[in-house]
């Protein structure tokens, strides 16, 4: 089984910050907006390098979304930054009308997604944002898994014309994807080859899926792990090709099972190749305060949960 090395824990939001810094140097049309969370979003360096292209909007997310939509008129590529909750649910109608329906080239960059925001609790831990964003016609939805991939994705979305939701997180997690990777929107990345089960994961759950695959391998179960960084458009072919071989699938995400990656995968399977599926996701619930590790354990979003789901799905084959 192919194995991956953690080159040192890093937060995905710092990958976003590094990507934005790079874009500042290479693309003069990139502008950045932030709603009073510059430090949390790691936008300090872009701001220092390009004060004229950086817009502090204050605690006013609705205005930030509208400003970004307007800034595209005249050729700018705005990147907005705030927490995932305030990037989506709080401003849904602004995104819907002024960005998505108006086909504006805005990149909505959302940190602190999911339970791993930790101690601040459920008011700040959104587990519904992938669903909200993927339902918007024309919206691309990306959830990156580590620092390197988040940096690569940040740079890649500037070249893509159209609205994008880029979701990442707060905690320091394993950094294991290549530093020089070519990020292709909508293209799943197969991490391991396997014959018994397909595990498709997104965001922080990708590393957990690799850990799970190691455990399963020791039990003689060969898992094919696929990193689905783009939830919309979904790489249907990669999923169908893999389940054609394995005959069952586990989906894993830091999100409600309603509206998330798992449901998108179910749709593909239902239409083209009905296949037993198990969901590693939150079960229609809000989060709570706690450390990221405690929360991921309590809500069943880690490697051991993926192993358990695999054992269940294998029995359904």
Partner 1 sequence: MPNTQQLQDLTTQVRRDILRMVHKVNSGHPGGSLGCAEFFVCLYQEIMDRNDNFDMDGIGEDLFFLSNGHISPVFYSVLARSGYFPVDELNTFRLIDSRLQGHPTTHEGLPGVRVASGSLGQGFSVALGAAETKKLNKDNHLVYSLHGDGELQEGQNWEGIMYAAANNVDNIISTIDLNGQQIDGATDDVLPMGSVRAKFEAFGWTVVDIEYGNDIDAILKGMAEAKSLTGKGKPVCVLLKTVMGNGVDFMMHTHAWHGKAPNDEQLAIGLSQNAETLGDY
Positions touching partner 1 (CB under 8 A) are 31, 52-53, 55, 57-58, 60, 62-76, 78, 93-94, 96-98, 101-104
Catalytic positions? 61
Q: In whole angstroms, how close is the CB of 140 to partner 1 at the nearest point? A: 17
CB of 80 to partner 1, least distance (A): 11
Task: Count Cβ atoms below 10 Å from residue 155 Cβ, excluding itself.
Answer: 18
Nearest to 56, CA basis, from 39, 77, 76: 39
d(CA 276, CA 215): 21
Q: How far is the CB of 36 from partner 1 (least distance, A)?
A: 12
Residue placing its CB nearer to partner 1 in the complex, 72 or 177 = 72
Q: Measured from the CB of residue 137, what is the shortest distance to partner 1 in angstroms?
A: 9
Q: Does residue 121 contact residue 287 with C-beta atoms inside 8 Å?
A: yes
Report which DSSP code applies to 100.
I
Q: Can you tell me whether residue 286 is helix, strand or coil?
A: coil
Residues 6+ apart with CB under 8 A from 71: 31, 33, 78
Residue located via tokens 């890093």: 10
Q: What is the CA radius of gyration of the chain?
A: 19
Shortest distance (Å) from residue 53 CB to partner 1: 7
Task: Tell me whether residue 107 is exposed, middle or buried, using C-beta atoms within 10 angstroms of its C-beta: 0 to 12, 13 to 18, 19 or more.
Answer: buried
Report the residue number, 105 or 150, with the smaller CB distance to partner 1. 105
Residue with Cβ nearer partner 1 (103 or 288):
103
Q: In 15-54, which positions are buried (b, 16+ CB within 10 angstroms) versus exposed (e)?
A: bbbbbbbbbbeeeeebbbbbbebbeebbbeebbeebeebb
Q: Which is nearer to partner 1, 88 or 98 (CB)?
A: 98
Minimum Å gap between C-beta 75 and partner 1 is 5
State the nearest-atom distance from the C-beta of 135 to partner 1, in Å.
Answer: 16
Q: Which is nearer to partner 1, 96 or 214 (CB)?
A: 96
How far apart CA 258 and CA 260 sit, in angstroms, is: 6
One-character DSSP codes across 112-141: S-SGGG-TT-TTT--SSHHHHHHTSTT-EE
**Is 55 or 207 the residue whose CB approaches partner 1 more closely?**
55
Compute how many other C-beta atoms are within 10 angstroms of the C-beta atom of residue 236.
17
| H/E stretch holding 220 | none
Task: Specify the residue, 98 or 125, whose C-beta has the smaller distance to partner 1.
Answer: 98
């Amino acid at each position: 089984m192919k194995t991956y090395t953690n080159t040192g824990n890093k937060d995905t939001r710092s990958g976003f910050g590094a990507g934005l810094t790079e874009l500042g140097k290479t693309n003069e049309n990139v502008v950045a907006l932030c709603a009073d969370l510059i430090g949390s979003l790691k936008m300090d360096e872009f701001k220092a390098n390009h004060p004229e292209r950086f817009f502090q909007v204050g605690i006013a997310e609705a205005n930030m979304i509208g400003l970004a939509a307007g800034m595209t008129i005249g050729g700018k590529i705005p990147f907005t930054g705030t927490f995932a909750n305030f990037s989506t649910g709080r401003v849904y109608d602004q995104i819907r009308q002024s960005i998505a329906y108006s086909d504006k080239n805005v990149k909505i960059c959302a940190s602190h997604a999911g339970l791993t925001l930790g101690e601040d609790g459920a008011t700040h831990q959104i587990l519904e944002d992938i669903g909200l964003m993927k339902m918007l016609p024309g919206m691309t939805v990306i959830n990156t898994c580590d620092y390197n991939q988040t940096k690569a994705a940040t740079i890649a979305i500037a070249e893509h014309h159209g609205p994008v939701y880029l979701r990442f997180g707060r905690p320091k997690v394993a950094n294991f994807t290549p530093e020089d990777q070519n990020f292709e929107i909508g293209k799943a990345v197969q991490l391991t080859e396997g014959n018994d089960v397909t595990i498709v994961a997104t965001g922080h759950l990708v590393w957990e899926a690799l850990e799970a695959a190691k455990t399963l391998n020791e039990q003689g179960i060969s898992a094919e792990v696929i990193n689905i960084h783009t939830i919309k458009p979904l790489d249907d072919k990669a999923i169908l090709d893999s389940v054609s071989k394995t005959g069952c699938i586990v989906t894993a995400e830091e999100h409600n099972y309603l509206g998330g990656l798992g449901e998108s995968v179910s749709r593909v399977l239902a239409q083209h190749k009905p296949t037993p599926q198990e969901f590693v996701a939150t079960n229609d619930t809000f989060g709570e305060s706690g450390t990221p590790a405690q929360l991921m354990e309590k809500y069943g979003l880690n490697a051991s949960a993926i192993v358990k789901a695999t054992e269940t799905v294998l029995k359904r084959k």
